[in-house]
Chain A
Amino acid sequence: MSRAIEVEKITKTYRVKSRRGLFKSSVEFVEAVKGISFTADYGSIVCLLGPNGAGKTTTIKILATLLLPDSGSARVAGYDVVKEASKVRENIGLMLTVEKGFYGKLNGRENLEYFAALYGLPRDIALKRIDHLVKLLELDKLGADRKLYEEFSLGMKARLSLARALLKDAPILLLDEPTLGLDPPSARKIRELVREMAHRENKSILYTTHNMFEAEIVCDRILLINKGVIVAEGSPEELKDKIPKLKVINLVIKASGDPGKPLERFTFRKEIKQEENSVFNVKIYVPRPEDVLGEIVKTLVNSGHEVVNVRVEEPSLEDVFIYYSEGSI
């Protein structure tokens, strides 16, 4: 069996017009995707992880046949996204923005029936499938199968959107930030289902997010994307192993002034966040914590700060992302 998704050096540049006064305008070119390549297999979840504007949605749109790439090639379920778009469309389930995408005067079930007709599902099969999905996503418990879409909460909208993506039981799912803005129970439900779909039903799932925690718990493989380029890829553990062997000294300080000042003499990368009025969280990235920890604590105490808590941690995925996007941590 061929790979579920094969992307080879695709590029996409947008032409953006910016207005200068009433009559003048200038054209700028924004390279959204700069020759990215990756593959995804059946039975796995591949995550495109990156900040806003990294090129995640552009990539999903190209794979969903909603946007033509400028160069390069992409195949979904073995079909070329440009030349065999209709075949690609038969093999994908798509979930884009969570907030919109259904008809307000139809209820959840009626909306699914509508899209089932567009997807070419025979009516009897469609109705059975909708029954199954309504239960699976607990839309019935929320009353979303009978309630008009215009009265839905964001969580209900997200579940309905995932139900539509699963409607035709396509082997490949393209999910663009499926948990964006959701309450924790809805987000958890969606993450659970996504994992179930990949591992139990052998689907290939391309999942975009800018949430590190989510990428770490949902995805089997992560592609770190920044400014249109994949800067690193691997499993969450592999990615953490790839960065220099730094550890994080995590300090909670009750400060009498700016705790950054006395720490200036330590040249390691530092992150200082104010948690409450006088409580600060300080992260210091060091290769050998045992060499400097005592001195750091002593310096802080001598400067009149109270060290409430000290922990030495392994770098998080967030640290990995910063490392690859900024070149260091």
Chain B
Amino acid sequence: MSFTDILRAEFKLEYNDMLRRKSVLFMLIMYPYLFTLFALFIGYAGGSPEVFVEKFGLNPVLYLITSSYILMSILASVDVLLWRPLYDSENGTLVYIISSPVNRLKYYMALPFPRYTELLLMGATSILPVYVYYYGLEGVLLSLLVITLIAVGCVLMVPFAIFVAGVCHRVGESWRIINIVRPIVMILMGVYYPRFYIPLIGYIIGSLIPSSFIVEIIQRTLLHLESNTHLLMAIAFTLFFLYLPAGAWSIKAWEVKKVKEGVKIS
């Protein structure tokens, strides 16, 4: 059972779903802009853009569109892995997935990749035009660098997301918890508020999330701050490998619980 076969199947499922449901495609393109507008609206209500520039040294539009894009992309694995088992349960497909001999770690690792590719392509409609507007041609290179870093962040996030999903789904009525988990992960990753300004305790807890270090690298790059990129990358990759067995254990524990209760046919 090869990972590429599972990946191909997931790509087909995700892309057919997106392309045959035009509203999903439209919302994917619109999301970063909607997030940015919302954050700007809140920001303008509390102060002026100059305050933001003074404090962070960067135009708020640039910062917020990047943050929204990071949020959508890197958190996609958390979204996919948290919601997919619930969707499959409702859809009646979960019983066939659990009763299949598919390698669980390979399967759950493959789940977020199609969404990732969609979102990375969305870089062309979100950060690229904004960067070009502010930086000219240099903006193209900068956006490519940011998209590449986000791609790394996406991959590093998967085992952590599997771990979190397994833990959440062990609890009854997990959909209630899922709605809370997402914003918590978002805050701890420091997506909207530069990570290095987060209080120490938050920074330490956020450091349990592999991709938070990638977010920090992107933020430091944008703000032209010094960054120990190699060290941050090394920590992120170490966490990635540590979460692999933890994720496999977590998803297995969830499945064992599910089978004890009896997988619902729906």
Contact = CB atoms under 8 A, between A and B. Distances in A.
Interface of A: 14, 57-58, 61, 64-68, 85-86, 89-90, 92, 94, 96-97, 99-106, 110, 113-120, 122-123, 148, 164, 176
A66 B266 CA distance: 13
Interface string B222-266: 000000000000000000000000000000000000011011011
Contacts of B21: 105
B207 to A, nearest CB: 35
9 contacts: A61-B265, A66-B259, A67-B262, A103-B17, A106-B12, A113-B9, A118-B6, A120-B101, A120-B102
Interface of B: 1, 5-6, 8-9, 12-13, 16-17, 20-21, 91-93, 95-102, 107, 259-260, 262-263, 265-266
Given A105-B16, A105-B21, A100 B99 contact: no
B8 A117 contact: yes
A68 B260 contact: yes
Contacts, number: 100
Nearest to B266: A100
A96 B16 contact: no
A154 to B, nearest CB: 14
A118 B13 CA distance: 13
Given A92-B99, A105-B20, A100 B12 contact: no
Given A97-B92, A99-B92, A65 B99 contact: yes
Nearest to B258: A66
A96 B102 contact: no
Nearest to B259: A68
Contact of B107 (A94, A103, A113, A118): A118
B93 A103 contact: yes
A316 B171 CA distance: 49
A192 to B, nearest CB: 24
A114 B96 CA distance: 11
B259 to A, nearest CB: 6
A58 B261 CA distance: 11
A147 B207 CA distance: 48
A105 B15 CA distance: 10
B263 A66 contact: yes
A103 B97 CA distance: 12
Q: Helix, strand, loop or mixed for chain B's interface?
A: helix
A115 B259 contact: no
A92 B240 CA distance: 35
Nearest to A14: B262
B12 A114 contact: yes
Contact of B13 (A85, A114, A123): A114
A89 B260 contact: no
Nearest first, the 4 closest Cβ-Cβ pairs linking A and B are A100-B92, A120-B1, A117-B9, A101-B92
A118 B16 contact: no
A102 B16 CA distance: 14
Given A97-B266, A100-B266, A105-B20, A118 B97 contact: yes
Contacts of B101: 86, 89-90, 119-120
A67 B17 contact: no
B13 to A, nearest CB: 6
B93 A67 contact: no
A102 B95 CA distance: 11
Nearest to A104: B91
Nearest to B5: A117
B263 A117 contact: no
Contacts of A120: 1, 5, 101-102
A43 to B, nearest CB: 23
Nearest to A119: B100
A102 B6 CA distance: 16
B96 A94 contact: yes
Nearest to A60: B265
A118 B259 contact: no
Given A105-B20, A118-B107, 4 more contacts: A68-B259, A89-B100, A100-B91, A120-B5
Contacts of A106: 12-13, 16-17
A96 to B, nearest CB: 5
A105 B14 CA distance: 9
A67 B263 contact: yes
Nearest to B7: A117
Contacts of B99: 64-66, 89, 92, 94
Contacts of B6: 117-118
A97 B93 CA distance: 10
Nearest to B256: A68
Which one of B6, B17, B93, B99 has the highest number of Cβ atoms from chain A below 10 Å of its Cβ? B99
Given A67-B262, A86-B101, A90-B101, A103 B96 contact: no
Given A89-B100, A90-B101, A103-B91, A123 B262 contact: no
Given A118-B6, A118-B100, A103 B266 contact: no
Given A57-B265, A100-B266, A106-B12, A66 B95 contact: yes
Nearest to A106: B16
A101 B96 contact: yes
